[in-house]
């Protein structure tokens, strides 16, 4: 109710009071549930504050998100907001804070997806961060846990792996397609660093599409 009415101090106060009550509860399932619920609530406040052009409020809310990767996503959106408002210094600062949060996050598909989005954001906002996010992304992709020999294709582990690869490949292609027209060196650097075929194929597809596009727009010699 307070959030819908854009009463941000009231929303913060309610969440803080509820947090104290939950902290006093010794039941782990309750704590785990409300940890995610609190993070979601602070994410919603972040987005609402940005929509209301209140980045300072958004920064406070983002800083209260306990999950590092969710906090990184919130900070990336704050950086985008600052950039669109032409506050480039604040945009760069928020993006660097986002990268710091990513580094604290658990390795896995969520971290890879967040890094790929950050790569696109750095290319747009602060190109000095692109090389680092690409290096981190390539390392995580090459070490991404694959199913074991005993994991059957119709089993849950294998199916989750395939699902993760599909999401990662889609984000990887999108990131490379954004990079290629403006930063071919780093785009090719990312593609060249990949050794796992499930990701190498996706990167090669993005490179091929860009090459075909450039051929279509190249002047025809008669």
pTM value > 0.75: yes
From residue 10, how far is each of 3, 4, 16, 79, 221 by CA, in Å? 8, 11, 10, 25, 67
The answer to whether the beta carbons of residues 182 and 176 sit under 8 Å apart is no
H-assigned helices in 1-155: 8-23, 28-51, 55-63, 68-84, 88-104, 109-125, 130-142
Residue 31: the pLDDT is 75
Residue 1: the pLDDT is 44
Mean pLDDT within 6-10: 84
Both structure tokens of 135? 């290096």
**Domain spans of the chain, in order of start:** 107-222
pLDDT top residue among 199 and 28: 199
Distance of CA 194 to the CA centre of its chain: 19
Which among 187, 174, 108, 95 has a CA at the least distance from the CA of 140?
A: 108
Whole-number percent of the chain with pLDDT over 70: 94
pLDDT digits (tens, 9 = 90+) for 123-178: 999 999 999 999 999 999 999 998 888 888 888 889 999 999 999 999 999 999 99
Residue 6: the pLDDT is 67
């Amino acid at each position: 109710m307070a959030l819908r009415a854009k009463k941000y101090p009231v929303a913060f106060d309610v969440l803080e009071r509820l947090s104290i009550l939950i902290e006093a509860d010794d039941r782990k399932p309750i704590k785990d549930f409300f940890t995610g619920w609190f993070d979601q609530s602070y994410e919603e406040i972040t987005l609402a504050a940005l929509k209301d052009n209140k980045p300072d409020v958004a920064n406070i809310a983002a800083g209260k998100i306990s999950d590092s990767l969710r906090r990184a996503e919130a900070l990336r959106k704050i950086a985008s907001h600052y950039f669109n408002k032409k506050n480039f210094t604040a945009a760069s600062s928020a993006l660097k804070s986002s990268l710091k949060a990513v580094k604290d996050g658990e390795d896995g598909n969520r971290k890879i997806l967040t890094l790929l989005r950050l790569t696109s954001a750095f290319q747009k906002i602060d190109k000095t961060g692109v090389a680092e996010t690409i290096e981190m992304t390539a390392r995580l992709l090459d070490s991404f846990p694959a199913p074991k020999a005993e994991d059957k294709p119709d089993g849950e582990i294998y199916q989750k792996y395939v699902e993760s690869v599909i999401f990662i490949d889609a984000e990887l292609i999108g990131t490379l397609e954004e990079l290629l027209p403006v930063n071919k060196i780093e785009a090719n650097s990312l593609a060249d660093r990949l050794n796992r075929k499930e990701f190498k194929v996706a990167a090669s597809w993005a490179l091929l599409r860009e090459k075909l596009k450039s051929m279509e727009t190249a002047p025809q010699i008669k």
